[in-house]
Amino acid sequence: MKSHRTPLVTAARLIQGGLFLLFGLNGFFNFLPQPPPPAAAANFAGALFATGYMIPLIKGTEIAPALLLLSNRFVPLALAIIAPVIVNIVAFHAFLAPAGLALPLLLLATELVLAFGYRDAFAPMLKARVTPTAASSRTHVTTRPADATA
């Protein structure tokens, strides 16, 4: 795989990782003040909170890829995990709270920059047809040197 250390890709990775870490942790510790949301957005968020598990699941799903992005480890995996979260954040703000759409669009832009920067990692899963690998071809056979006394 090619080196992905261009300044734009590095900046996008750090921005996205930092924002998801910040807002993911805020979901658990509530240290950032939130303006009152529009009624439809409040109803949607209220339903997520009412489940008892959805907000911790979403916020945990934000924090794990954020740590991967910030540590520059498993970046394509982090991008694949966080992509559906970004789609939902953009849709939430586009349809329910448009006043806050700027930050989600920044996250979408960083995701697109990173996806393009790491496009070689995504190429195999974007093929229309792939032949499964046989189990026997994946096993690693080790051989020991011949015993001198045999």
Q: Where are the beta strands (DSSP E) in the chain?
A: none
Q: Is 134 helix (H, G, I), strand (E, B) or coil?
A: coil
Q: Decide if 2 is inside a domain.
A: no
Range of 13's domain? 7-138
Output the pTM of the full model. 0.85
Q: Decide if 110 is inside a domain.
A: yes
Helix intervals (H) in the chain: 7-29, 39-51, 54-71, 75-95, 102-117, 119-122, 135-138
pLDDT tens digits along 85-133:
999 999 999 999 999 999 999 999 999 999 999 999 999 999 999 999 8
Q: How many domains does the chain have?
A: 1
Q: Decide if 67 is inside a domain.
A: yes
pLDDT tens digits along 45-59:
999 999 999 999 999
